[in-house]
Amino acid sequence: KEIFVIRCISCLSVVLLHIISMVLILQAEALADISHTVDSYRTLLMFSTPAFIFISEFLLARSYPAGVPKGFLKKRGKVIFVPFLFIAAV
């Protein structure tokens, strides 16, 4: 349950962070007076990326308590990194 709550809060944080960033881009002149405060809130919302990394590592550790199977990183590289490179090239 706790991991689900962390994931939910992190997802909402990402959405809110993107909303604030878009508002700052579109209304930069009007929000110039409070930009420092808004940047502080944006910085606080950036916990979501480390939270997603924590969730991934926690679930991997729970799935493989005795250690990862042989060839695990190679398989992950094929499944995750190759599509990432393809999309980056496109």
Question: Two tokens at 58?
Answer: 């926690």
HSE (side-chain half, CA atoms, 13 Å) at 71: 3
Which whole number is the average pLDDT over 45-54? 88
Q: Taking 70 as the threshold, does the pLDDT of residue 67 lie above it?
A: yes
Q: What is the largest CA-CA distance in the chain?
A: 56
Looking at per-residue confidence, does 78 or 37 come out higher?
78
What's the first-to-final CA gap in the chain, in angstroms? 38
Q: Taking 70 as the threshold, does the pLDDT of residue 86 lie above it?
A: yes
Question: Two tokens at 70?
Answer: 């042989």
pTM over 0.85: no
Token pair 């990402």 in the structure block, residue: 14
Domain boundaries, the chain: 2-89
